[in-house]
Amino acid sequence: MSSATKSTDPCLDRESYLIATLDDEIRADQLCHELLRRCYLYLVEAHELPAEETSRLCYGVSYFLCEYLIPEFRISPFDLTAVQVRRFAGHWYIIRNMEPNLAELTSILEGILAFAAFCRERDLMSAEQVATIEGACAELDFYRDRIDSFWAIEKEGYDAWQAVCPLKD
């Protein structure tokens, strides 16, 4: 299915994730949960991952999509870019969690990668798009430094910290 093709399945239809109102956001969130259920089944069946591992991956991408991408930026899961991943991992995750840590963040990023591969297999994301997402997910040293430098902020240092990886342009 090309990106211009309209699916009869609302869960796989890009237009179902267009968000202009709160009702649209609620619909997109509900569809996203169904999409993640399908991703879970795909990982268990096609890749024969253990249920515990699959749950961990899907929990991570669910957090990313349903707490960050859809409500904060009103972006379709299929329009995900490396920039959003980097902003999430290098800024949003850090300021929104009581104890941001690389182990938890790595788990979320692994979930994003599994989801991107699931979408790629269904032609919901391009190979180039997935490759750039993979690149952003691999920047673990950068994210470790961002977490460490966040904890080291003193006095008026937040603005300088934020400027390195701002949430918006």
SS (H, E, C) 24-83: HHHHHHHHHHHHHHHHHHHHHHCCCCCHHHHHHHHHHHHHHHHHHHHHHHCCCHHHCCHH
For 82-101, give the DSSP string: HHHHHHIIIIIHHHHSSS--
pTM metric for this prediction: 0.91
Kindly give the confidence (pLDDT) of every residue in the chain, 169 residues in length, as a single tens digit, with 9 standing for 90 and above.
444 445 688 898 888 999 999 999 999 999 999 999 999 999 998 888 899 999 999 999 999 999 999 999 898 999 999 999 999 999 999 999 999 999 999 999 999 999 999 999 999 999 999 999 999 999 999 999 999 999 999 998 999 999 999 998 8
* H/E element, 71: helix 70-73
Nearest to 93 by CA among 39, 20, 144: 144
